[in-house]
Amino acid sequence: MRSVEGAVVLVVGASGGLGARVAERLEAAGATVIRAARNPATLSGPDAYLADLAVPGGAASLLLAAAAAHPEHLDGLVIAAGAVAFGPIDELADDTIDALFAVNTTAPIRLIRGAIPRLAESAAAGRSPFIVTLSGVVAESPTSGMAAYSASKAGLWAFVQAASRELRRSGIRLLDARPGHTETTLSAHPLAGAAPAFAPGLDPDAVADRIVAAILADEKDLPSTAF
């Protein structure tokens, strides 16, 4: 089992139900956590930055801010930001589709691409850099009434599967987590539509515990069956 003691980790979506919990656990394990989120009302701390991933320059600006705050090294990137929408496909508006893919697919790709140089430096220095994404169970089992959301998360999972094979040469480990429906507030704030009546979801504390345990154990994939 590896240690994150002394590691610098950027957690994107750090004010969300899972992102906040993962950030707290990494910090408790000895990491220096840089928090980033879009909502200023739920983001605080000395290493906290507002970031709107829906805009094209949001990912690059965030990485620059993290590098300025901690130029020594970057050892981990956790992408827990996300957006959801509900409703039949014939009611999906163009701006909803664009926003879903911007936040759930394009921004994570840009963040991963932009973090590669610093994470590769971390690996060259003998540390164990990692990237964590949360595509969720819909990447494995696309869900009716959530077609565009499912597609945006499946796109992220496909990217991570391919990128992990490329980045292992640089010593960078990618880990995608695909938990089932989890009791956070994400579904209460959709971009469109209204959430269906879900069955009781997973405990977010248990999900965060499992993700951090996977980071520490050098795991490379967390399918829905791992939760």
pLDDT of residue 215: 98
SS3 175: strand
Q: Give the angle 154-158-164 at the CA atoms, nearest 5°.
A: 140
Higher pLDDT, 51 or 135: 135
Distances (CA, A) of 128 to 1, 76, 119, 125, 133: 11, 9, 9, 9, 17
Task: Give the whole-angstrom CA distance, residue 105 versus residue 159.
Answer: 9
Task: Give the whole-angstrom CA distance, residue 69 versus residue 187.
Answer: 33
In the chain the beta strands, taken as DSSP E runs, fall at: 8-12, 32-37, 48-50, 76-79, 130-134, 173-177, 221-222
Task: Give the whole-angstrom CA distance, residue 192 versus residue 190.
Answer: 5
Q: Comparing C-alpha atoms, which of 26, 22, 114, 135 is closest to residue 63?
A: 114
pLDDT of residue 43: 86
* Burial of 139 from C-beta contacts in 10 A (0-12 / 13-18 / 19+): buried
The tens digit of pLDDT for each residue in 26-68 reads 999 999 999 999 888 888 778 999 988 888 899 999 999 999 9
SS3 14: coil
225 band by pLDDT with thresholds 50, 70 and 90? very high
pLDDT of residue 1: 56
Task: Give the whole-angstrom CA distance, residue 10 versus residue 195.
Answer: 30
Domains of the chain: 8-226 (3.40.50.720)
Task: Give the whole-angstrom CA distance, residue 137 versus residue 32.
Answer: 29
181 band by pLDDT with thresholds 50, 70 and 90? very high
CB 103 within 8 A of CB 154: no
CA atoms within 13 A on the CB side of 186: 26
Task: Give the whole-angstrom CA distance, residue 91 versus residue 192.
Answer: 9
